[in-house]
Structure 1
Amino acid sequence: MLWIYAAIAFGPLVLVALGSFRSNADILQRPVGLPDSLDLGNYLRAWETASVSTYFTNSILVTVGAVALCVAVSATAAYALSRWRFPGRALLAAFFLSGLMIPAKLGLLPVFYMFQSMGLIDTRLGLILLYAASGVPFSIFVIMGFMRGLPTELEEAARLDGAGEGRLFVSVALPLMRPALAVVTVFQFAPTWNDFFYPLVLLRSSDRYTIPVGLTRFFGEFATDRAALFAGLVIALVPLALIFAFATRQIISGLTAGMSR
């Protein structure tokens, strides 16, 4: 059953990859088929002529910035909520986790007016802040669950050696959090990289488009450059494939250690 699922899931990706080496005329005549040769002309046309390089750069800046900010805020908050004892800790944790129950897109209208008043419409910074904030509840949930399952003896030993809270967090807690941070990074990177809705609504200038919105420019009123579109889709898949390939082991260990507690 897993092999059947894998074939269904990877089948469209294989067709897109093969189509990226074919011409538009060949694709129209034979929608499914093998390329005659491994011609990289479609990739060059998509990267240079169709501005995929600009969209790709924008997506990298927005996604990396949002994920880095989200992970930094979530790691510090989750550490404090799971290790420190202070009045209102449970209420504060419930406040953060309540964000999991509210779809972020329901708040688009107030977010739009708030960004408009702050001058963040049609800016990459606005997207970074929005994606980072929307990913904090899930990230805190994962990291808190992971931290609660870890022993506190290492931190107590570091305190006896004179380490302050900052040193504890950087030298002890962060290395222990690595599997959970990998899970959070991947689970925030993928939806942020693939998101089409927020860039479509909040961006106005084509030179600030991220790659999901930018790829729609391959569709014209009278014609569609399918070959270049397939090449652009393959380019868009490369960062996701790389991050999943390098973080698979950390994802599995983080999920099994954090979610089971």
Structure 2
Amino acid sequence: MATRTPLSRSIAAHAVLIAYTVIALFPVFVIVINSFKSRRAIFAEPLAIPTPDTFDLVGYTTVLKQGDFFQYFQNSMVVTCGSLFFVLLFGAMAAFALSEYRFRGNTLMGLYLALGIMIPIRLGTVAILQMMVASGLVNTLTALVLVYTAQGLPLAVFILSEFMKQVSDDLKNAGRIDGLSEYRIFFTLVLPLVRPAMATVAVFTMIPIWNDLWFPLILAPAEEVKTITLGSQVFIGQFVTNWNAVLAALSLAIVPVLVLYLIFSRQLIRGITAGAVK
């Protein structure tokens, strides 16, 4: 039986990633091309490229005129970036503590944090709403950041703790011998080595936050704090839906999250391809 070389495994890994990217981006492609077509063309030929006869920007003009769409974008960016920052920071700190230090209840603490992966946070919507009302945080972006941080921490701790267990103890002990504090060891030695894992956490955490409708509708429905997903619902009616505006809003909403995905996916792909050639 022929043995696969590291080069062939790397090529196979890149081929799989390319195929996955094409499949994943096809719905995005369909949404974008239809956002530039008239309503009649959308239903007549949904997979066709816009032509001079079918090209129409009515969806974008409607989106930009109706509602403060740029404010919705800004709110979504603040909530997403803020939540990612706290998820990665606190998740990495907790994972480092669980993987590095042995104490009574270490395993139980890890299992307790992992329960958040299995139990949906939406089950506690009523209690969360009551808590936010009591704290005076309803209709604020802070409420959304707090909820999404709590939502993303279990997965972050679960993934990062497994990666941090693989970091060499000799490297960390050498840092301690050189007089580095535990904070310096964490930020300068451990974090750079687990960047692919942090990119994985960021990718899997970012998309649900950006696309979520439930908590913005419950905790922050006011006009000045609406997110892009909640703001797009104005074009969806009970009896009539403005598909041109909906597709245009979705196309505009794709751009920021696609940029964030590309930023984090570089580390994600680097980690996958590095593992393929070992």
**TM-score per shorter chain, which class?**
0.7 to 0.9
Question: Which residue in the other structure is 1:43 paired with?
Answer: 60
When structure 1 is superposed on structure 2, of 5-14 and 240-249 the one drifting more is 5-14
| Deviation readout 1:119-175 (Å, 9 max, x if unpaired) | 122111001000001111110000001011221111111111111111111111111
When structure 1 is superposed on structure 2, of 179-188 and 24-33 the one drifting more is 24-33
Counterpart pick for 2:124 among 100, 107, 123: 107
When structure 1 is superposed on structure 2, of 3-12 and 25-34 the one drifting more is 3-12
Helix, strand or coil for the counterpart of 1:81?
Answer: helix
Q: Distance in 1 between matches of 2:17 and 2:206?
A: 25
Question: Which residue in the other structure is 1:201 paired with?
Answer: 218
Q: 1:113 offset after TM fit, Å?
A: 1.1
Give the AA of the match of 1:202. Answer: L
2:29 is the counterpart of 1:14: yes
Question: Which residue in the other structure is 1:162 paired with?
Answer: 179
Instruction: Pick closer, same or farther for the CA change 1:27–1:79 going to 2, 3 Å.
Output: same
Unaligned 5+ residue runs, structure 2? 1-15
Question: Which residue in the other structure is 1:118 paired with?
Answer: 135
Q: Distance in 1 between matches of 2:24 and 2:266?
A: 21
Unaligned 5+ residue runs, structure 1? none
| Deviation readout 1:6-45 (Å, 9 max, x if unpaired) | 7765443322111111233543665554323466564354
Identity %: 37
Task: Give the paired residue count.
Answer: 258
Give the AA of the match of 2:82. Answer: G
Instruction: Pick closer, same or farther for the CA change 1:252–1:10 going to 2, 3 Å.
Output: closer
Q: Distance in 2 between matches of 1:2 and 1:189?
A: 19
Q: 1:176 offset after TM fit, Å?
A: 1.3
The two structures, once aligned, show a CA RMSD in angstroms of: 2.8
Question: Which residue in the other structure is 1:86 paired with?
Answer: 103
2:91 is the counterpart of 1:69: no
Helix, strand or coil for the counterpart of 1:163?
Answer: coil
Q: 1:53 offset after TM fit, Å?
A: 1.3
Q: Distance in 2 between matches of 1:187 and 1:113?
A: 28
Q: Distance in 2 between matches of 1:105 and 1:217?
A: 23
Instruction: Pick closer, same or farther for the CA change 1:6–1:100 going to 2, 3 Å.
Output: closer
Q: Distance in 1 between matches of 2:201 and 2:86?
A: 12
2:43 is the counterpart of 1:24: no
Q: Distance in 2 between matches of 1:9 and 1:181?
A: 22
When structure 1 is superposed on structure 2, of 150-159 and 36-45 the one drifting more is 36-45
Question: Which residue in the other structure is 2:158 paired with?
Answer: 141
Task: Name the TM-score, length of structure 1 as normaliser.
Answer: 0.86
Give the AA of the match of 2:220. Answer: L
Q: 1:189 offset after TM fit, Å?
A: 0.6
